[in-house]
């Protein structure tokens, strides 16, 4: 298969005519062919028109047809074989095992959403039967289901070229909900995006769905991205990326005549609290686990542990010494893009201006090499300086030394919203942990005990979300099956004849859903 | 009991010191004692500080304690007896039967949410068990529940002095979710607000809850309202009122360092589609039902039928003649406030400038008398003039005469978002109705067949919501038990020891919830 440098507008490969994006192999700094000219405003329009035309039919596909579509996308991605793996490696600098694992997650995610679609709980069917004899007024027959919001704009993430890109979590959950998707590809991996986009388009064709169910655009966020979010036919947005990028999309969405929801996953430093008994029992082992989580994938995870909080004292000193030792032994790793590398260097420089550097990893030849970094500061300084909470995307972390439990509480309360918060504890720490929990529940979407925040399971119970600025919408998750709920809205049908009702709401319950029927959940 | 003219900040009656609001009996134009001085910025602060202090304890109250609290509020409102009814009548101009009915709905609503709280489905508990042996990586134990967002600001509505005011739907659903509530009372019914506020405060005390669970403030929307929405401790907003008021609150919420959700129910003209066979069979009966729905409560309902759409021709002419006759025989009714009356007169004047007046109701002596009005226009004019879609709050409606089915479809597609859309049809109309349904599902939160949109049932299946500008958040309903979901967010607990888990998530399932356990719904 040859990469064409073209977008996919519906089923058609179409060349853009604006400034081209071109991938760079971050390990060598070399440009990768082909170039991808950016889409025009007219091409954004065309993709939106096709998505809109496809919406009414796609949203009423049966549960089995829609599930089969998701599974077909997974099959088609797997059928791309090694070409996809090698292109993703070249465009991201990520090693083969990681890309293969991410491909597995991406396809597994699509199949998990297929199961969720078939189970049908997301329809949230509620029936209140008519009570014609009720006094003083009869009650009508009222039936509720959930319907999809409409076409969704998805912005590919830099750090998951497969699992949070063209056919990643946002796309899978929006398609599962019944929403056509228009992806604005991330400029760092256009070739990977084109390959996966072709796989999705093949699945659309094989499943005989309207072509507008999926389009793939290239171009700049400022032009193509804002045009997409501003189009009246787009009804929701999924984004994973920087805080400034997410906020810009939120503002564009709010400035529309009809504002729409934006699910932007933006910025988190993922505080880790080390409690005294745990530190005393295993400071060195904790340091080892910490460094492994910190440096995994050059630290380029939304859930990277960028902040450690503990009581000062000899146990914490042991942890710091062991962590410093681990960091110093850590190899440099190629970062995803020159832009991310530059931002890491800037962020590390800013940390160095406010906190005490205690360790740096091994240096390496070649471009875009992320050297892990470790800093310490005091609770007092941390509380006085909001800049110490800025996310540094990459393998850098800051240890906050607290004088007492009250300072730990203050640091916790002072935190911005987070994707995760982690507690390392032993039996002797349970009381202190219990005291801190209410604060952490207000601050983060996922709380962990005795683990590390990197590694996000795709399952029913996962929450990859959290208060602003971790995300722009605390009511949601972008990973796991509950992500489907982001793209749905309730509709109530009053006194409809059975023949006009959608299947999910018909009296005979042909989909065999467990409805909430007259206040009782059906068995 | 004497009205004091004071606010309730936690359990304390506190006098404001800013410009006072004072109710007017709209039937006489006379001021009602006492005056209610507006709250200061400092008093807003105090209420927010108390709500914040109460949050961590209130949100972890057991399901039964929280349910009992909602029931106690209902009991305390009923215990106010006739004093409440008479004050609400005087402040609203609404008749006794309506106020008594609304009190019944208000208390019923609180008790319905108590049942919802006890059932616990809103916790949406999901458990994915640990799989320590899984390859290539073990799976952690992951458990999800929903937790409340935080303190909620509720803005009382003018048109439901009980059911959507101090202890109305927004307050009931927020308290049910576990959120403390600060109400900014509507200026039209401060005495009613004070009485109900005292009832809520008594329930807080009787249930031994922290006093900050509830506060009641008076003052202007621009000052007290915006200060409240801008306070960092407020985490969500419930509002029912004008489009301009709702948009102002949305903008204030978006301008915060941490933006928060605003659930504003704003503007809807509730299109009614009359299909040919139905019109032919019963044009006069439809007209009678229409006029009854239009003029009920002086048309002061969010779901008032402000737009009728049908094919031109002799059947529609019969409907128009009968509706005109009905309107002409309709008595004038006292509107809620002089401001609402003025806006009605202005709105009717604007309609008269763009559409053909066909009937006006009986006039009456005295202030603030709403004379029902009926207008007609053509589809072509309607499509050309967005002003014809502006909500006129009161008993005014516009009939759009369409040349063919395609014009009906165009009118439907041209509509802004709506709370409701209604279809009157007979068997012969089913095909045409089916063709229109996809459009109407995109436009409205509730679809009705052969009924009238006024009269909103409080039940599980109700959706009182819809696309912008009907509401600011299409993903939600403000009436019915699903309203609790507006004030919740998911949190995931990873590898927690049982003793640290909230009861809802403990391994023994002590709350006996039907969890989503390893992908299967428990029986």
One DSSP character per residue, A290-307 reads HHHHHHGGGG-STT---E
Neighbouring residues of A34: CB distance < 8 A, sequence distance ≥ 6: A3, A4, A5, A22, A191
The CA-atom distances, in angstroms, between B133 and each of A412, B129, B136, B464 are: 34, 12, 9, 48
Task: For residues A476 and A459, give the distance between their C-alpha atoms in angstroms, rounded to a whole number.
Answer: 14
Asked if the structure places residue B497 within a domain, the reply is: no
Considering the domain architecture, whether residues A293 and A151 belong to the same structural domain is answered as: no
Instruction: Identify which of B126, B445, B499 has the shortest CB distance to residue A491.
Output: B445
Nearest to B176 by CA among B258, B64, B17, B10: B64
Structural domains in chain A (count): 2
Task: For residues A165 and A83, give the distance between their C-alpha atoms in angstroms, rounded to a whole number.
Answer: 17
pLDDT number for residue B523 = 86
The answer to whether the Cβ–Cβ distance between B441 and A491 falls below 8 Å is: yes
What CATH number does residue B52 fall under?
3.40.605.10
The answer to whether the Cβ–Cβ distance between A441 and B150 falls below 8 Å is: no
Confidence tier at B175 by pLDDT (50, 70, 90): very high
Considering the domain architecture, whether residues B225 and B301 belong to the same structural domain is answered as: no
Cβ pairs A/B, distance under 8 A: 199
- How near does any CA of chain A get to the CA of B134, in Å? 12
Contact assessment for residue A314 and residue A276, using Cβ atoms and an 8 Å cutoff: no
Cβ-Cβ contacts under 8 Å, B105 against chain A: none
Position of tokens 């983060």?
A: A444
The CA-atom distances, in angstroms, between B196 and each of A383, B10, B13, B114, B168 are: 42, 14, 13, 18, 10
The residue-averaged pLDDT of A202-222 equals 96
What percent of chain B is predicted at pLDDT more than 90?
Answer: 99
Cβ-Cβ contacts under 8 Å, B514 against chain A: 521
**Can you give the residue range of the structural domain that contains A439?**
271-449
Cα nearest neighbour of B122 on chain A = A124
pLDDT number for residue A1 = 58
Cα nearest neighbour of B115 on chain A = A519
Considering the domain architecture, whether residues B433 and B363 belong to the same structural domain is answered as: yes
The residue-averaged pLDDT of A435-456 equals 98
DSSP notation for B14-60: E---EEEE--EETTTTEE-SPPEEEPPHHHHHHHHHHHHHHHHHHTT
The residue-averaged pLDDT of B80-95 equals 98
Query: In this predicted model, what pLDDT tens digit does every residue of A217-245 receive, in sequence order?
Result: 999 988 999 999 999 999 999 999 999 99
- How near does any CA of chain A get to the CA of B22, in Å? 34
Query: In this predicted model, what pLDDT tens digit does every residue of B18-50 receive, in sequence order?
Result: 999 999 999 999 999 999 999 999 999 999 999
Asked if the structure places residue A314 within a domain, the reply is: yes
Q: Is the pLDDT of residue B498 over 70?
A: yes
Confidence tier at B118 by pLDDT (50, 70, 90): very high
For B146, the 3-state DSSP assignment is strand
Considering the domain architecture, whether residues A256 and A287 belong to the same structural domain is answered as: no
The answer to whether the Cβ–Cβ distance between B430 and A500 falls below 8 Å is: yes
- How near does any CA of chain B get to the CA of A460, in Å? 6
Task: For residues A73 and A206, give the distance between their C-alpha atoms in angstroms, rounded to a whole number.
Answer: 10
Catalytic status, residue B107: no
Asked if the structure places residue B417 within a domain, the reply is: yes
- How near does any CA of chain B get to the CA of A428, in Å? 13
The answer to whether the Cβ–Cβ distance between B490 and A434 falls below 8 Å is: no
Considering the domain architecture, whether residues B207 and B226 belong to the same structural domain is answered as: yes
Cβ-Cβ contacts under 8 Å, B138 against chain A: none
- How near does any CA of chain A get to the CA of B425, in Å? 10
Considering the domain architecture, whether residues A319 and A229 belong to the same structural domain is answered as: no
Instruction: Identify which of B451, B469, B514 has the shortest CB distance to residue A140.
Output: B451
The CA-atom distances, in angstroms, between A144 and each of A126, A127, A491, A499, B461 are: 5, 6, 6, 16, 5
Query: In this predicted model, what pLDDT tens digit does every residue of A90-129 receive, in sequence order?
Result: 999 999 999 999 999 999 999 999 999 999 999 999 999 9
Tokens of A399: 């240890």
Task: For residues B355 and B398, give the distance between their C-alpha atoms in angstroms, rounded to a whole number.
Answer: 8
Helix, strand, coil percentages (3-state) for chain B, rounded to 5, are 45, 20, 35
Strand B126-128 to strand B142-148: parallel, antiparallel, or no bridges (unpaired)? antiparallel
Considering the domain architecture, whether residues A294 and A262 belong to the same structural domain is answered as: no
The CA-atom distances, in angstroms, between B111 and each of B167, B208, B414 are: 12, 19, 40
The residue-averaged pLDDT of B134-152 equals 97
The answer to whether the Cβ–Cβ distance between A433 and B516 falls below 8 Å is: no
pLDDT number for residue B94 = 97
The answer to whether the Cβ–Cβ distance between B472 and A448 falls below 8 Å is: no
Asked if the structure places residue A434 within a domain, the reply is: yes
What CATH number does residue A289 fall under?
3.40.309.10
Considering the domain architecture, whether residues B284 and B433 belong to the same structural domain is answered as: yes
Tokens of A510: 């042909």
pLDDT number for residue A221 = 87
**Averaged pLDDT of chain B:** 97
Helix, strand, coil percentages (3-state) for chain A, rounded to 5, are 45, 20, 35
Task: For residues A69 and A206, give the distance between their C-alpha atoms in angstroms, rounded to a whole number.
Answer: 8
Contact assessment for residue A391 and residue A367, using Cβ atoms and an 8 Å cutoff: no
Considering the domain architecture, whether residues A276 and A248 belong to the same structural domain is answered as: no
Considering the domain architecture, whether residues B283 and B365 belong to the same structural domain is answered as: yes
Tokens of A42: 């007219």
Strand A142-148 to strand A488-494: parallel, antiparallel, or no bridges (unpaired)? antiparallel
Cα nearest neighbour of A418 on chain B = B491
* Residue A128 DSSP label: E
The residue-averaged pLDDT of A262-277 equals 97
The CA-atom distances, in angstroms, between B110 and each of A136, A288, A430, B115 are: 19, 53, 37, 9
Cβ-Cβ contacts under 8 Å, A449 against chain B: 493-497, 500
Task: For residues B216 and A444, give the distance between their C-alpha atoms in angstroms, rounded to a whole number.
Answer: 30
The residue-averaged pLDDT of B121-145 equals 97
Q: Is the pLDDT of residue B172 over 80?
A: yes
Cβ-Cβ contacts under 8 Å, A140 against chain B: 448, 451, 457
Cα nearest neighbour of B505 on chain A = A461
Q: Is the pLDDT of residue A299 over 80?
A: yes
What are phi and psi for residue A260, nearest 5 degrees?
A: -130, 160
* Residue A332 DSSP label: P
Cβ-Cβ contacts under 8 Å, B491 against chain A: 441, 444-447, 463
Task: For residues B152 and B134, give the distance between their C-alpha atoms in angstroms, rounded to a whole number.
Answer: 43
Chain centroid offset of residue B518 CA: 37
Catalytic choice (B302, B315, B370, B416): B302
Asked if the structure places residue B187 within a domain, the reply is: yes
pLDDT number for residue A523 = 86
The residue-averaged pLDDT of A310-333 equals 98
Q: Is the pLDDT of residue B1 over 70?
A: no
Q: Which residues pair with A294 in a beta bridge?
A: none
- How near does any CA of chain B get to the CA of A103, in Å? 14
Cα nearest neighbour of A464 on chain B = B492
The answer to whether the Cβ–Cβ distance between A459 and B139 falls below 8 Å is: yes
Catalytic choice (B71, B211, B265, B391): B265
Asked if the structure places residue B338 within a domain, the reply is: yes
Query: In this predicted model, what pLDDT tens digit does every residue of A59-85 receive, in sequence order?
Result: 999 999 999 999 999 999 999 999 999
Asked if the structure places residue A514 within a domain, the reply is: no
Confidence tier at B222 by pLDDT (50, 70, 90): confident
Catalytic status, residue B78: no
Considering the domain architecture, whether residues A296 and A427 belong to the same structural domain is answered as: yes
The answer to whether the Cβ–Cβ distance between B258 and A467 falls below 8 Å is: yes
Considering the domain architecture, whether residues A225 and A310 belong to the same structural domain is answered as: no
Nearest to A47 by CA among A169, A168, A153, A149: A153
pLDDT number for residue A2 = 79
The residue-averaged pLDDT of A265-290 equals 98
Confidence tier at B221 by pLDDT (50, 70, 90): confident
Position of tokens 């504002």?
A: A259
Give the helix/strand (H/E) hosting A184: strand A181-184
Query: In this predicted model, what pLDDT tens digit does every residue of B248-305 receive, in sequence order?
Result: 999 999 999 999 999 999 999 999 999 999 999 999 999 999 999 999 999 999 999 9
Position of tokens 């859309």?
A: B421
Contact assessment for residue A290 and residue A252, using Cβ atoms and an 8 Å cutoff: no
Asked if the structure places residue B506 within a domain, the reply is: no
The answer to whether the Cβ–Cβ distance between B446 and A494 falls below 8 Å is: yes
């Amino acid at each position: 298969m040859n990469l064409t440098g073209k977008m996919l507008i519906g089923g058609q490969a179409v060349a853009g005519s604006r400034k081209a994006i071109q991938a760079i192999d971050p390990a060598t700094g070399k440009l990768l062919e082909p170039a991808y000219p950016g889409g025009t405003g007219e091409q954004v329009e065309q993709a939106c028109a096709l998505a809109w035309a496809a919406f009414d039919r796609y949203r009423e596909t049966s549960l089995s047809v829609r599930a089969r579509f998701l599974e077909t996308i997974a099959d088609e991605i797997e059928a791309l074989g090694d070409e996809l793996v090698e292109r993703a490696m070249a465009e991201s600098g990520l090693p083969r095992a990681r890309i293969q694992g991410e491909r597995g997650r991406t396809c597994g995610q699509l199949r998990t959403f297929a199961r969720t679609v078939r189970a049908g709980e997301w329809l949230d069917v509620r029936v209140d039967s008519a009570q014609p004899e009720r006094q003083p007024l009869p009650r009508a027959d009222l039936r509720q289901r959930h319907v999809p919001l409409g076409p969704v704009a998805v912005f590919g993430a830099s750090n998951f070229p497969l699992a949070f890109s063209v056919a990643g979590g946002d796309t899978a959950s929006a398609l599962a909900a019944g929403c056509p998707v228009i992806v604005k590809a991330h400029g760092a991996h256009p070739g990977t995006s084109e390959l996966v986009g072709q796989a999705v388009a093949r699945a659309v064709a094989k499943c005989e769905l309207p072509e507008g169910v999926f389009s793939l655009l290239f171009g700049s966020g400022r032009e193509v991205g804002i045009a997409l979010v501003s189009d009246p036919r787009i009804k929701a947005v999924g984004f994973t990326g920087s805080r400034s990028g997410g906020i810009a999309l939120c503002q564009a969405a709010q400035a529309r005549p009809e504002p729409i929801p934006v699910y932007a996953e933006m910025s988190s430093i993922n505080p880790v609290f080390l409690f005294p008994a745990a530190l005393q029992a295993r400071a060195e082992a904790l340091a080892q686990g910490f460094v492994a989580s910190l440096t995994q994938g050059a630290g380029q995870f939304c859930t990277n542990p960028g902040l450690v909080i503990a009581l000062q004292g000899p146990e914490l000193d042991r942890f710091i010494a062991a962590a410093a030792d681990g960091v110093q032994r850590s190899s440099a790793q190629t970062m995803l893009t020159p832009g991310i590398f530059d931002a890491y260097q800037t962020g590390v420089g800013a940390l160095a201006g406010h906190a005490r550097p205690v360790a740096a990893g091994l240096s390496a030849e070649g471009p875009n090499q992320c050297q892990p970094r470790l800093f310490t500061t005091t609770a007092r300084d941390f509380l006085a300086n909001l800049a110490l909470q800025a996310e540094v995307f990459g393998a850098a972390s800051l240890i906050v030394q607290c004088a007492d439990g009250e300072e730990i509480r203050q640091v916790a309360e002072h935190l911005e919203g987070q994707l995760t918060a982690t507690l390392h504890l032993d039996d002797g720490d349970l009381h202190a942990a219990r005291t801190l929990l209410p604060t952490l529940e207000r601050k983060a979407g996922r709380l962990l005990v005795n683990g590390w925040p990197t590694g996000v399971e795709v399952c029913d119970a996962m929450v990859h979300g959290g208060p602003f600025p971790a995300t722009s919408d605390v009511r949601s998750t972008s990973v796991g099956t509950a992500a489907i709920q982001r793209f749905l809205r309730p509709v109530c049908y009053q006194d409809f004849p059975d023949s006009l009702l959608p299947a999910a709401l018909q009296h005979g319950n042909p989909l065999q859903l467990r409805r909430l029927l007259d206040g009782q959940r059906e068995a």
